[in-house]
Amino acid sequence: MPTYTLAQVSAHKTTASCWVIIRNKVYDVTDFLFDHPGGPQVIVDFGGQDATAAYVPIHPSDALDKNIAPEKHLGGLDEASIRELSQAKDNKVKTKDQLRVEEAGKNKPPLSRIINVRDMEETAKKILPYKAMAYYASAADDSITHIENARAFSRFFFHPRVMRAISGCDTSTTMLGYKTSIPVYISGSALARLGHPLGEVNLTRGAYKTSIIQMVSTNASLSYGRIASARGSPEQPIFFQLYKHKNDKTAAKRIREVEALGYKAIFLTVDALVPSNRELDTRAPHYLEDFESQGPNHGRNSQPEQGETEILGTAGGLIINNDVDMTWERTIPWIRSITKLPIVIKGIQCVADAVLAAEAGCEGIVLSNHGGRQLEYSLPPVEVLHKLRKERPDVFDKTEVYIDGGVRRGTDVLKALCLGAKTVGLGRAFLYAQSAYGEAGVIHLVRILQREIKFGMESLGVRSIDQLVPEMVERVNWQAAVASKL
């Protein structure tokens, strides 16, 4: 295998010839520049340089093999260049944000002091790198939908039943026939390695040890194979969240790959086809620039800049190759022709589409607005669930109904189940848990939810999930008090 010096690599830093170094290996990425989901500039910025630190946290280990032709894997660095890079890494001055993260990590509370979902979120936000925090926490526009997703649960109150035997309360249920210890699953979320080096593996191992189900995102930061191999046993169920690629051959290859790896269902994402306006994520580079220089740098260039503001952020590039022309008539039959796996439509936001999904024979639907990260003012999923229960209760007999978005408490889970949801997904909460405490954080979060769900069931007068019925909840037309931190 040929070897190259840093000087040789540095000569290739334009769109005409662009090489990068990743893990001491040299790649010619020229032909891939304009196919890159995040656009060519983000690669050209690292042209002729070592891009390892920027590349590794957000790309699966097999991404280069899948996207760069074998002949463009040019070779490795020579020994002198490897030593030079290693020395430069050792001598590199840490950024203010890195120093902040180190200090926050030393002072984070012991896991035993994390007693609810909000505690986990608040702790993680303090110790995450700012870029990771901004990506995880960002929501669309003014974050109104994100806020209302959670607030909507406070408009539903219980009708508990008393004088009912509740010993032996069982919080377990099933999802597509697979047993789960609580009616909660890990919703598909991208880029877990932004928060922790093991990323999605923490989620997989935590799910196994607590007997819940993990959904893996198309945009996971580890390869689908690496995640599958982290399962505690081959029988551990994992589901796949599919962002369908606009190229059918690419999409079919991805579906066949995960099916061969043992994934048990396809969750087709339909509510995030185009990049949205997530301003916290978009502003992250600007914030970091000002933070590192100890103040705004707006006046450095007195000349007005030309061109549009870049709003893709970390998130935008992930979905830029999505199929924006999916239809009920074509897409569902096409997926059926590729795989025998059950199909769940993730991102239903109105009753009419829930009905169409059921009529299309889909095995499940997820009522979701993508965590408030896409269209501002899309209805909170629990409100859609309530409307579906009132207007088309027959849908619950035709397909399994799930919900995600805004869940913070075991009582939120129980309200959704009373209205007919089979299980409830949490995404950000598990990202925060694994970011702050790794696998142990995931396990702890499940235990918190299990405790709250069990208490809620006992207080409602039920022993099993199937005893939760619509008559146990009522939607009120007034807004409950905002929860306070005691």
Q: What are phi and psi of 22, to 5 degrees?
A: -135, 120
Cβ-contact 302, 399 below 8 angstroms: no
Q: Is 463 helix (H, G, I), strand (E, B) or coil?
A: coil
Positive/negative CA dihedral, 324, 309, 277, 252: positive
Supply the angle between the helices 279-292 and 130-137 in degrees, to the nearest 10.
Answer: 160
Place of tokens 């539903």: 156
Residue type, 340: K
Concatenated DSSP letters of 42-89: HHHTTTTSB-HHHHGGGS-TTHHHHHS-GGGEEEEE-HHHHHHHHHHH
Using DSSP bridges, classify how beta strands 173-175 and 178-180 pair: parallel, antiparallel or unpaired.
antiparallel
Give the separation between CA 31 and CA 387, rounded to whole angstroms. 50
Could you give the residue numbers annotated as active site? 243, 271, 370
Cβ-contact 158, 21 below 8 angstroms: no
Tokens encoding 276: 């949205």
Tokens encoding 145: 């939908």
CB atoms within 10 A of CB 446: 23
Concatenated DSSP letters of 255-312: HHHHHHHT---EEEE-S-SS----HHHHHHHHHHHHHHTTS--GGG--SPP-SPPP--
Q: Is 314 helix (H, G, I), strand (E, B) or coil?
A: helix
Please calculate the CA angle 460-462-397 and round it to the nearest 5 degrees.
Answer: 105
Cβ-contact 135, 191 below 8 angstroms: yes
Concatenated DSSP letters of 225-242: HHHHHTSSSTT--EEEEE
Positive/negative CA dihedral, 387, 392, 394, 397: negative
Give the separation between CA 88 and CA 343, rounded to whole angstroms. 49
Give the separation between CA 482 and CA 46, rounded to whole angstroms. 47
Q: What is the largest CA-CA distance in the chain?
A: 80
